[in-house]
Structure 1
Amino acid sequence: PAHGTKTFRARLGVDHSLAGFEDVLAQRRAEADAFYHQLQCRIADQDACKIQRQALAGMIWTKQWYYYDVDRWLDGDLIETPESRKQARNNDWRHLHNADVISMPDTWEYPWYATWDLAFHCLPLSLVDSYFAKQQLLLFTRERYLHPNGQMPAYEWNFCDVNPPVHAWASWRVYQIERTQRGGEGDLSFLEQVFHKLMLNFTWWVNRKDVEDRNVFQGGFLGLDNIGVFDRSKPLPTGGHINQADGTAWMAMYCLNMMRMALELSLHNAVYEEMAIKFFRHFLHIAEAMTNMADCGIGLWDEEDGFYYDELSLPRYDGSMERIVLKVRSLVGIIPLLAVETIEPETLRKLPRFAEELSWTLENEPGLASLVSRWHEPGRGDRRLLSLLRGRRMKLLLKRMLDPDEFLSEYGIRSLSKVHEQTPYVFEHQGQQHQIQYTPAESSNRMFGGNSNWRGPIWFPINFLIIESLQKFHHYYGDEFKIEYPTGSGKHLTILEVSDRLAERLTRLFRLDNNNERPIYRHAPRMQQDSKFRDHLLFYEYFHGDNGRGVGASHQTGWTGLVAKLLYPRRPLT
């Protein structure tokens, strides 16, 4: 009723008696308080504890039963279905039979899963239920999910869509988190199971998303909706294809994730050492391709701009390809930063065959070896570094990324450079104009449905990966290597300090500021002023690129639940 409340009590089970209801509820609340008190014992700030607990509660709440039998759906039950139904979407996924509890991005709408969203879910989930996180990652590699060709289902409305291959990254990180929780003992059985299935998925990527067999990948949509000047989920209006800086960098990252998993398994079973070498070599060839495509000296890196760009390949009448650089400064050009891994000297000592391969490559293929940042030069703690970015290129890229006039917002890294607010990128082809402009909040066009926007807003998943990558770079370079932060400020910080500052900007979205307000509620005075609303948080889908306002779906936690991991005190990398 208006200005009033009603309380409903219910009990599920055979015994519907409500005797002792309040006592049981109080006991469960006390148990939850005790659990979170232990989990958050290293977090001093009470507002941060509140944010983290609500984020984790949201992650737990979004577990839902999901049922979808594609074969039965297409063929129908007792009555014959029309032929058109049998040709409907997902008709080539007849093997898929989902009947499981799954971590959903959203529990308010009709339940649906998204595989790359789920990979990010598993990190915060691993803080409170590592078993469930591991089972989720394994679930999507099982025969009832994974396509016989190795592709993972994207989401219900089109299982064939292609999202960034982050499953290996999530599997490795969940393994690491649980290993720390268990005092250094990792679940090797889980790691081995998921590694074998991911090899099938990796092979699918190599065979299906490298059009010219040059280790330069396309991928198409890749989860970033309208980030490109063209709709990447559809055939290009120009014909041809795009050699994607992000698609290629995601595959480089995939190689390093698989190599890292293989190295860990090799410490317990020497058979996996050859697999580690295989992924190391594949990573080198991807790095070469990004620098010198088709042996013609053309790469995805623009030396003048200090940035990575996509390349549009258009067929000519004579059968050759016209190559056009699409100079859009977006997260697409920052994603190569994510392909980074460090190797401990102890690992090389224990795995002589892998160490021998590194030495052989340096001696016999110096040109190939020189493309990858300093893996042959010991860094801090005698570590080795594998990265698409050498120190100089990394500094140039970070100069762009950490510029407040480009990517650096008060609340994280924008998905599109603010430069494109006043100077939109325009591509003309056969009398048609295609344009992309910085739009910090809701989408201004209907590309990919128009219900999300990667042309300016801040998105948690990529920001989170950027932060982790910077931590890895610092793990190698140490405190001597400093960069200007923010660009133009004249202040220089270590890479680790920069990663900490970025994490602080992201968590600032939810924290009370000096005016006792939360940036996520910029648009809603009631949410700011009434503590009943202000202190009950919504974990929006994405955030305004300038003022931090929550944008998109407010009724989900999804990958924004990564804030729970950012609020957890950081441990040294291992």
Structure 2
Amino acid sequence: MTAEHQRLADANAHQAPWRKFGPYLSERQWGTVREDYSADGQAWGYCTHDMARSYAYRWGEDGLAGVSDDQQLLCLSLGLWNGQDPILKERLFGLSGPEGNHGEDVKEVYYYLDNLPTHSYQKLLYKYPQQAFPYAWLVEENARRNRAQPEFELLDTAIFQGNRYFDVCVEYAKVEPTDLLMQISVSNRGPEAATVHVLPQLWFRNTWAWGHDPYRPLLEATQNGQAIAAEHQGLGGLCLYCGQAPDLLFCDNETNTQRLYGAPSRSGGKHFKDGINDYVVQGSRAAVNPAQTGTKAAAHYVLTLAAGATHTVRVRLGPPNLTEPFEDFDQLVRQRRHEADEYYAALQADLVSEDARRVQRQAWAGMLWSKQFYYYDVPEWLAGDPATPPPPAARQHGRNAGWKHLNNADIISMPDKWEYPWYAAWDLAFHCVPLAQLDAGFAKHQLRLLCQDWYMHPNGQLPAYEWNLSDTNPPVHAWATWRVYKMDQKQHDGSGDLDFLATVFHRLLLNFTWWVNRKDRSGRNVFEGGFLGLDNIGLFDRSAPLLPGSYIEQADGTAWVAMYALNMMRIALELAQTRPVYQDLASKFFEHFLYIAGAMTNMGDGDLDLWDEKDEFYYDVLHTPEHGRQFLRTRSLVGLIPLFAVEVLDDEVLKSVPQFVARLNWFLANRPYLASLVSRWQQPGQGDAHLLSLLRGHRMKCLLARALDEAEFLSDYGIRSLSKYHQDHPCRLLYGGRDLSLGYEPGESETDLFGGNSNWRGPVWLPTNFLLIESLQRFHHYYGDEFKVEYPTRSGQYSTLLEIADALSGRLTKLFLRNEAGERPALGPDQHLQHDPHFRDYLLFHEYFHGDTGQGLGASHQTGWTGLIAKLLQPRS
């Protein structure tokens, strides 16, 4: 057992709080829904990046390369100034949704390089230009560009030309759970000497200004000005020890109302949140407190580095009264680095390629760095705070007003720390799979968390995301629960956590019932659900109200619920192995799956079938008073998702659940029209396996023929979200007086649906590819090696479904691995990123990937579900 495995075991046994401090500090709190108290719900404009340095946040904090405790009472992060910028670099800069020509986007260059599950070692690299940061240029140029043009990025400004930048490497190493070393190594990559200001910053989240709790913590200089004492009733006493005798600067984490609103401070204070910025950048000595006390502080280092030189700054946040805080600092950092190498060597023992190990480890690092403290108490947010002006009356009937039960204050896996500093229900489900490779305890906690009373709506709905908690995400929570359970079981030599499985299962019974009652308009087991996480994949916004009398029956919504029913049936059968009462629930979900299969497969009623015999594909169906029922003929993932609803049961499982088998046999005997729809249920397959699928053999082959066609869905880098067929044959629809059109868009979105910052009209997305690969593996488990299909379509070459699943995994991993030219397709055409020795081995895990070239697009650090690449890189066992 490695040292990190031991720390994890101690943390899970509640013997040592190794997870108490971690990378829980967001990189953007400005522009979030939680900080929005506007009348019109325009969050991007209520608190902007420019305001952020002066605005005391209500619900969370942000910082550069930062950490905090698990309630974000105390934060530690990095500030930088190159002597040229108009502001201190305390947080990441990016464009808001309305500013970007493709929606919001971070405009910085940084990388998550390493992290451990207990965060006992963490490493991040930030590239800081030596010239003035081009804030205005980035805003103006992106505003000038239209949707047909690419985003204008920081690298496009040529600000890194001539290597005139600093590599700022930030490492954290824990001595004990609440004793943290911070090492900042600054390297001058430029050709001449350059000066940089380095400011480790320590501050308390403002919990005292809102009229709920007047307790005010304190920071003050101690040890003859060489350390900062931190006293908080929730944390006790801590001390930030600062090596090399920097200047200590103090202010208060309070809003500078004079700068923001032209009004004096209500508290009568004089030293505001932006005091350290004003002191360093503007030379305003009055902006910091000469008494060296406050609620925000910084250690100010001024470094002049020769060309190629590196200088290291060391601080330590630990217990008070350490007499030699830096005596063993270097040795401890080296030790934690070594322990990180040991831990990952054990996990990656089966990976031969050094490059694959690098990619996987950085993917995991991004997953762990994106664990965030998330605080959102909807009743308080709606009502406003006693010490602040009340929100507009319209707020009580606006965004999230129907979620008054929701009160979140937890560490949650985020899609990323800048563009998505909030959780999304279906994103989180996918996150849990690669997280379970590292820390199954945390993954299980995440899945339980969303099912708790203070998350799940009383009606059974899971919260979608903070912009609209009532939106509908695909129901993949049961799938993730089963996957994490099996991974955890394998890690514990076959001993599964049945209590976890039962707990989540019981809560998901409520959620499944919500789907059945709320999303099945006609009670015919054909489901809706809105955009279902696929943003702009349709001709119009499927979540928006349609014209009177119109409605959509969704192929993907129906297939997702069918998959959900099978997932719940499989969990119930597992629980029934030791708790026979669950056999009855397994029967319920088996029967519900059959009814959905019947609805999708035309039980003699042409008004129900979502399968188009002409195109041999599944489509959404639009009902209108004028035209009745019509297929929406977009060849997209919507029509491939029925492949995901597949389960294989072995005879060994069935022998242990006789009541389930008896009920199943009765049902099949007495409902022959449904029994005939189940793919080969009564015909044992490979190894006496039984198959449950929405697709009989013919329809499965038809869908795979399209999915595996390089002229349609199959790209060099995985399955596209929309068929390339639509490049020359756009789908058109006359609806509501508008001529709607949808074409193949392999790169950035050309429409502003959902803000336009993501695109499902052609690019490759990891999560849906991952589900398809798993489905092919399950189909193979039933059909065996004798069943082969043409791969690629029209190639004349035939492969087993397992071989195709492996080949698709290989196409996806090609996105990140160096090819024969030494380039990584995901990094795109930029030669700096591809070949510069200070860039080429640093990975970005984008939201999605160009359908033809594989270039990473969308959110650049959305390791969230793109982190699934870590699981795909692991050899299949």
Report the TM-score when normalising by structure 2.
0.64
Deviation at 1:298, TM superposition (A): 4.2
| Same amino acid, percent of matched pairs | 60
Instruction: Kindly indicate whether the alpha-carbon contact (under 8 Å) linking 1:314 and 1:323 is maintained by their aligned counterparts in 2.
Output: yes
Q: Does 1:368 align with 2:659?
A: no
By how many angstroms is 1:483 displaced? 0.3
Query: Equivalent residue for 2:701?
Result: 395
SS of the aligned residue for 1:445 comes to coil
Per-residue Cα deviation, 1:51-80 (whole angstroms, up to 9, x for no partner): 111111111110010100000011111154
Matched, 1:491 2:810: no
Three-state SS of the structure 1 residue aligned to 2:500 is helix
Paired residue type of 2:699: R
Counterpart check, 1:36 vs 2:344: yes
The letter for the 2-side match of 1:417 is: S
> After the TM superposition, which of the residue ranges 355-364 and 24-33 deviates more from structure 2?
355-364
CA drift of 1:429 comes to 2.7
Among 695, 699, 711, the alignment partner of 1:405 is 711
1:258-269 equivalences in 2 (<5 Å): 258-269=568-579
Aligned mate of 1:201, from 511, 536, 544: 511
Moved more, 515-524 or 102-111: 102-111
Question: Helix, strand or coil: the match of 1:384?
Answer: strand
Distance 1:563 1:504 in 2: 10
What are the Cα deviations for residues 208-241 of structure 1, in whole angstroms up to 9, with x where unaligned? 0011111000101100000011111211257511
Q: Residues of 2 paired with 1:363 and 1:181: CA distance?
A: 41
Q: Determine if the alignment matches structure 1 residue 70 to structure 2 residue 378.
A: yes
* CA deviation map 1:236-272 (0-9, x unaligned): 2575111000000000000000000000000010110
Task: Show the counterpart of 1:292.
Answer: 602
For CA contacts below 8 A with separation 6 or more, give which structure has more relative contact order.
1
2:651 paired residue number:
345
Equivalent-residue separation in structure 2 for 1:219 and 1:142 (angstroms): 22
- SS of the equivalent of 1:9 reads strand
2:431 alignment counterpart: 121
Amino acid at match of 1:148: P
Matches of residues 313-332 of structure 1 in structure 2 within 5 Å?
313-315=623-625, 322-332=628-638
Letter in 1 for 2:675: A
1:384 aligns with 2:694: no
- Measured after TM superposition, the shift of residue 18 of structure 1 is 2.7
Cα contact 1:214–1:293 (8 A) shared by 2: no
- The answer as to 2:324 corresponding to 1:14 is no
Of stretches 374-383 and 430-439 in structure 1, the one that deviates more from structure 2 is 430-439
Give the total of aligned pairs. 567
Structure 2 gaps of 5+ residues are 1-129, 131-163, 166-187, 189-309
Q: Which residue matches 2:364?
A: 56
State the partner residue of 2:586.
276
Give the AA of the match of 2:358.
Answer: K
Q: Equivalents in 1 of 2:668, 2:517: separation in Å?
A: 28
Residue matched to 2:161: none
Q: Distance in 1 between matches of 2:662 and 2:476?
A: 29
Cα shift readout 1:516-555 (whole Å, capped 9, x = no counterpart): 1100112311000113211110000000000100001112
Partner amino acid for 2:740? H
Structure 1 segments unaligned to the other structure (5+ residues)? none
What residue is the counterpart of 1:111 in the other structure?
421
**Are 2:615 and 1:305 equivalent residues in the alignment?**
yes
Assess if the C-alpha contact under 8 Å between 1:214 and 1:294 holds in 2.
no
| Residues 1:449 and 2:755 aligned together | yes
What CA deviation, in whole Å up to 9, does each residue of 1:477-523 have, x standing for no partner? 00000000000100000000000000000000000000011001123
CA shift, 1:87, in A, is: 2.1
More strand by share: 2
State the one-letter code of the partner of 2:414: M
- The aligned runs of 1:173-184 (5 Å cut-off) are 173-184=483-494
Match of 2:412 in 1: 102
Larger Rg: 2
Q: Is the 8 A contact 2:478 2:508 kept in 1?
A: yes
More deviation, 107-116/266-275: 107-116
Q: Is the 8 A contact 2:414 2:420 kept in 1?
A: no
Question: 1:548 aligned to 2:858?
Answer: no
Alpha-carbon separation, structure 2, partners of 1:322 and 1:89: 34
CA deviation after TM superposition for structure 1 residue 405, in Å: 0.2
Going from structure 1 to structure 2, the CA distance change for 1:187 and 1:216 (only over 3 Å counts) comes to same
C-alpha distance in 2 between matches for 1:224 and 1:52: 26
Give distance in 1, aligned partners of 2:620 and 2:601: 13
Deviation at 1:297, TM superposition (A): 5.6
Q: Does residue 244 of structure 1 match 2:554?
A: yes
In structure 1, what is the Cα distance between the partners aligned to 2:394 and 2:664?
55
**What RMSD, in angstroms, separates the aligned Cα atoms of the two structures?**
1.4
Q: Which secondary structure does the structure 1 equivalent of 2:409 belong to? A: strand
Q: 2:799, 2:465 → 1: CA distance?
A: 41
Contact kept? 1:134, 1:190, Cα under 8 Å:
yes
State how far apart, in whole Å, the 2-side matches of 1:211 and 1:426 are: 26
The two structures have a TM-score, normalised by structure 1, of: 0.97
Answer 1 or 2: which has greater helix percent. Answer: 1
Contact 2:419 2:859 (C-alpha < 8 Å) held by counterparts: no
CA contact (8 A) 1:420 1:438 kept: yes
Corresponding residue for residue 354 of structure 2: 46
Checking the alignment, whether the CA contact within 8 Å between 1:52 and 1:567 is kept in structure 2 is yes
Q: Secondary structure at the match of 2:314?
A: coil
Asked if the contact 1:233–1:448 (Cα under 8 Å) also holds between the matched residues in 2, the reply is: no
Distance 1:559 1:498 in 2: 22
2:522 partner amino acid: E
Distance 1:402 1:392 in 2: 15
> What amino acid is the match of 2:792?
P
Q: Indicate conservation of the 8 Å contact 1:291/1:297, yes or no.
A: no
Secondary structure, aligned partner of 2:867: helix
Alpha-carbon distance in structure 1 between the residues aligned to 2:641 and 2:773: 12
Q: 1:234 aligns with which of 525, 536, 544?
A: 544
Distance 2:553 2:792 in 1: 31
Q: d(CA) in 1 for partners of 2:625 and 2:455? A: 37
